Amino acid sequence: MLKLSKLTDYAVVALVRLGQKNEVTTSPVLSRSTGIPEPTVAKVLKILATQGIVTSQRGARGGYRLAHPLEEISIASVIQAIDGPISLTTCVDGGDCDARSTCGLGGQWDMVNAAIRNALSAITLADMKNHTVIDRLGGLQAPSMPSGPAATA
């Protein structure tokens, strides 16, 4: 249902919390302060470390730390780190579309995909912490349907 995985949600929460304290923090501490189960938060941080979002310090007194300030980490980065590349359909980016010849809409999905990616790239973790999203995107919280006759869900 066009929803991102829970892991991504957890990742954002953990990263924002990590950005608030500007020091090396361990998984258990992050687990306690966020409410995320300890093994899960560890897993998330682990993935984020491999993607360069956070840096890890092994051994005793180790932990994780943000590799970049919150302002420089976009939501899109986190999503791509956890869930993989943002590809709405398999056709996007040269995927093997079994009905490419008959479907009629050449690479139009790429445009939709780009629109999403652009919207996600415009929002940073700092925007999630503060409440500055409204200012930067200006009224995006308007009712979704432009002329909305269909899908009254």
Partner DNA sequence: GCTAATTGGACCGGAACAGTACTGTTTCCT
Partner DNA sequence: AGGAAACAGTACTGTTCCGGTCCAATTAGC
Residues 43-102 that bind DNA (CB under 7 A): 43, 45-46, 49-50, 56-64, 83
Contact 118, 140 (CB under 8 A): no
Angle CA(79)–CA(81)–CA(85) in degrees, nearest 5?
70
Contact 45, 27 (CB under 8 A): yes
Q: Which of DNA, a copy of itself, none does 40 bind, CB closer than 5 to 8 A by kind?
A: DNA
Alpha-carbon gap, residue 63 to 65, rounded angstroms:
7
Q: In angstroms, what is the minimal distance from the CB of 51 to DNA?
A: 11
Q: Which is nearer to DNA, 49 or 122 (CB)?
A: 49
Q: In angstroms, what is the minimal distance from the CB of 46 to a copy of itself?
A: 15
Q: Which of a copy of itself, DNA, none does 50 bind, CB closer than 5 to 8 A by kind?
A: DNA
**Nearest 10 degrees: Cα torsion 16, 17, 19, 21:** 170
- Identity (one letter) of the amino acid at 66? L
Q: How many residues sit close enough to a copy of itself to count as binding (CB under 8 A)? A: 82
The binder of DNA chosen from 33, 40, 87, 121 (CB under 7 A): 40
The binder of DNA chosen from 20, 21, 22, 28 (CB under 7 A): 28
